[in-house]
Amino acid sequence: MNLTLRGRLPENRKVRAGLAILVFFALFALAGPFLVEDAFGLSATAIHTADGMQPPSGAHLLGTTATGEDVLAQLVVGSRVSLLVGLVAAVISTTLSVLVGVAGGYLGGTPDALLTAGTNIALVIPSLPLLIIVASYVKGRGGWLTVALIIGLTSWPWGARGKRAQTLSLRRRDFVTAAEMTGESRWWIITRELIPSMAPLISASFLSAVVLSMFADAGLSFIGLGNINLTSWGSMLYWAQNASALARGAWWWFIPPGACIAVVGIAAGLINFGIDEIANPRLRKPGRAVRRRAAAAALRTPEEAR
């Protein structure tokens, strides 16, 4: 799977579309704040109580919040914090999952049994309540970095399982045996042979981890934990909910940040789905001609096959 994955990654349309969306948001977060703040002179934090709860207009393309902040400016500036938390948390959780998964899969025996048991236990303890408890004890100390840290530390088990399974399929391959024969240490084989050969899988799961961490951050901020005083997509939703934006019909306040989170989520879904198609060729949608031939072969009538 490893070689085909590397060769096909750019060819799968779903993966490509998902990657394109993520790249777009990365640029949005990098360049966007300069654009809205310097070029258009909008501020995410300037309060104009007189302009509160304005629907979208020429002056405020996405309207204003209850205290008159510009929603568009908040959305653009907030993408930075959301993305940053996602990236840092994903680095932590991916590193942990690679270490636990690959070490367990490669070493086998008792270390594997222990690591697998640990992973499975971490997997069945519900992570969101745990996240909520830890975040509420932390009480915002350490800012977004702490939030990223606790999300990263609670979200690794899913990835560890996938990487362990992949390692199991690689550990008897010739290149691993060859490295063992030349007397390389286990650590060397894990870090120089196994992990590089799983690079496509690891990068795909890293992207999903970014998105899942952004979801977790938004969820935490939404209930008032984490970084509610930093502008992020989640904190926008929190303040919107706090000011009963829903009851007051201020859709422009909470639809944009939620939609951004949703689009990023769809990007991750596309990437996951594309990866599944690459890993399991049967899931790929065949062309029309292939489908017709397959239908005939499978003793189906042409009407049914369409």
Partner 1 sequence: MTASSGTVAPTTAQERVAVRRPGRRPRLGAARYFVQRLGFYLAAAWIAVTLNFLLPRLMPGDPASALIAQMQGRSALSGEQIASIYRLFGDPGEPLWSQYVTYLGQVAHLDFGLSVAFFPTPVWEVISAGLPWTIGLVGITAVLSFVIGTAGGIMAGGRAGSRTDSVATPAAMFLNALPTFWIALLFVLVFGFQLAWLPTGGAYDGDLTPGFSAAFIGSVISHAVLPALTIALGWSATWFIGMRNMMITTVSEDYVLLARAKGLGRTRVMFRYAARNAILPSVAGFAVNIGNVVGGQLLVEAVFAYPGVGYLLYQSVASVDYPLMQALFLMVSLSVLAANFLADSVYGLIDPRAREGRA
Residues that bind partner 1 (CB under 8 A): 112-113, 116-117, 120-121, 123-130, 132-134, 136-138, 141, 158, 161-162, 165, 168, 208, 211-212, 215-216, 218-219, 222-225, 237, 241, 246-247, 249, 251, 254-255, 258, 261-262, 265-266, 268-270, 272-273, 275-276, 280, 282-283, 285-286, 291, 298-299, 304, 306
CA gap 111, 102 in Å, rounded: 11
Q: Which residues pair with 215 in a beta bridge?
A: none
CB of 174 to partner 1, least distance (A): 22
Closest to partner 1 by CB, 54 vs 166, is 166
CB of 119 to partner 1, least distance (A): 9
Of 133 and 178, which CB lies nearer to partner 1 in the complex structure?
A: 133
Shortest CA distance to 146 belongs to which of 230, 247, 65? 230
CB of 245 to partner 1, least distance (A): 9
Considering the complex, state which of residue 43 and residue 146 has its C-beta at the smaller distance from partner 1: 146
Rounded Cα distance, 16 and 14, in Å: 5
Residue 58 or 287 having the CB closest to partner 1? 287
- Compare residues 127 and 231 and give the one whose CB is closer to partner 1: 127
- Give least dist CB 89 to partner 1, A: 13
Residue 116 CB, nearest approach to partner 1 (Å): 6
Cβ-based nearer residue to partner 1, 53 or 168: 168
Q: Which is nearer to partner 1, 72 or 228 (CB)?
A: 228
Query: In the complex, what is the shortest distance from the CB of residue 276 to partner 1, in angstroms, rounded to a whole number?
Result: 5
